């Protein structure tokens, strides 16, 4: 199966071509203000380089956010147009879940995306990248408290034979897309203190 993947949800416009589980080619441009101008030429360049016409694509995957509203709208509109003309199947992919797939980790991964004004989008995933709870969007400190509660409850339910310290030792938090700048050292350290996290374990990377 050949898959064309498109992401316009951030300041980076990226496209890639996959065949089954193998990455064939990828291109990206970092300029949020020109996604509407650069996306289709980027897709054309990708397919030409890979010697793959659009009508040979079996599926188009498109990032559906959260992220830049304008960028997401541009990406989805382009994908719907291509799919309509060439009768292609389409699937939407969450920005937060796609970020979680970048981590290979035996535990919980938290994806955070900067929503500006001290706000973040948040998604929490298990080690198989399945979503735990609902996606969240709120003030960074509110999100940290919700993360604490959700992670603790999840491990209490599924890992009753593991003590609280080792539960927390299996948690990894991925802070991405500019969110780190909103977290002072005090705010970073307050997140899991009441679970007595081993001090050597890095919560934020």
The whole-number pLDDT of residue 146 equals 80
| Co-location of 112 and 186 in the same domain | yes
| Co-location of 138 and 63 in the same domain | no
Of 93, 126, 149, the domain-final residue: 93
The whole-number pLDDT of residue 179 equals 39
How far is residue 54's CA from residue 82's CA, in Å, rounded to a whole number? 8
Mean confidence (pLDDT) of the chain:
76
Contact 79, 24 (CB under 8 A): no
| Co-location of 30 and 12 in the same domain | yes
CATH number, position 16: 3.30.420.40
| Co-location of 15 and 60 in the same domain | yes
More confident residue, 143 or 41: 41
Cα distances (angstroms) measured from residue 174 to each of 10, 16, 63, 165? 17, 23, 19, 20
Contact 78, 6 (CB under 8 A): yes
* In a domain? residue 200: no
Question: Phi-psi bin for 178: left (phi > 0), alpha (psi -120 to 50), beta?
Answer: left
How far is residue 195's CA from residue 148's CA, in Å, rounded to a whole number? 9
User: Which run of H or of E encompasses 186?
Assistant: helix 185-190
| Co-location of 128 and 160 in the same domain | yes
Confidence of residue 125 (pLDDT cuts 50, 70, 90): confident
Structure tokens of 5? 């993947």
| Co-location of 103 and 57 in the same domain | no
Instruction: Taking residues 26-54, report their average pLDDT.
Output: 92
Is the predicted pLDDT of residue 204 greater than 90, yes or no?
no
Residue pLDDT, tens place only, 152-196: 665 555 544 333 333 333 334 443 333 344 343 333 333 333 333
| Co-location of 11 and 68 in the same domain | yes
Give the rounded percent of residues in the chain with a pLDDT score beyond 70. Answer: 72
The whole-number pLDDT of residue 79 equals 96
Number of domains observed in the structure of the chain: 2
| Co-location of 107 and 44 in the same domain | no
| Co-location of 166 and 132 in the same domain | yes
Q: Which stretch of 23-37, 88-102, 128-142, 143-157 has the lowest confidence by average pLDDT?
A: 143-157
* Domain of residue 144, residue span: 96-195
Exposure string over 3-27, b if 16+ CB within 10 A, otherwise e: bbbbbbbbbebbbbbbeeeeebeeb
* In a domain? residue 201: no
* In a domain? residue 205: no
Nearest to 63 by CA among 10, 2, 108, 100: 10
The whole-number pLDDT of residue 111 equals 85
* In a domain? residue 203: no
| Co-location of 125 and 147 in the same domain | yes
Q: Which stretch of 9-23, 50-64, 100-114 has the lowest confidence by average pLDDT?
A: 100-114
Confidence of residue 59 (pLDDT cuts 50, 70, 90): very high
pTM (2 d.p.): 0.71
Positive or negative, the Cα torsion across 153, 65, 144, 110? positive
User: Which run of H or of E encompasses 73?
Assistant: helix 69-86
The whole-number pLDDT of residue 15 equals 96
């Amino acid at each position: 199966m050949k898959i064309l993947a498109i992401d316009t949800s951030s300041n980076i416009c990226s496209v890639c071509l996959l065949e089954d589980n193998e990455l064939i080619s990828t291109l990206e441009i970092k300029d949020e203000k020109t996604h509407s101008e650069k996306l289709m030429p980027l897709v054309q360049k990708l397919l030409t380089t890979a010697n793959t016409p659009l009508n040979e694509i079996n599926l188009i995957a498109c990032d559906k956010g959260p992220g830049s509203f304008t960028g997401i709208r541009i990406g989805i509109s382009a994908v719907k147009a291509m799919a309509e003309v060439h009768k292609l199947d389409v699937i939407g992919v969450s920005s937060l879940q796609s970020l979680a797939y970048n981590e290979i980790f035996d535990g919980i991964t938290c994806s955070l995306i900067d929503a500006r004004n001290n706000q973040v989008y948040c998604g929490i995933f298990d080690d198989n990248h399945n979503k735990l709870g609902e996606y969240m969007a709120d003030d960074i400190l509110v999100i940290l408290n919700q993360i604490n509660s959700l992670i603790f409850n999840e491990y209490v339910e599924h890992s009753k034979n593991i003590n609280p310290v080792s539960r927390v030792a299996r948690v990894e938090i991925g802070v991405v897309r500019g969110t780190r700048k909103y977290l002072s050292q005090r705010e970073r350290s307050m997140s899991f203190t009441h679970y007595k996290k081993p001090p050597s374990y890095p919560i934020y990377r």
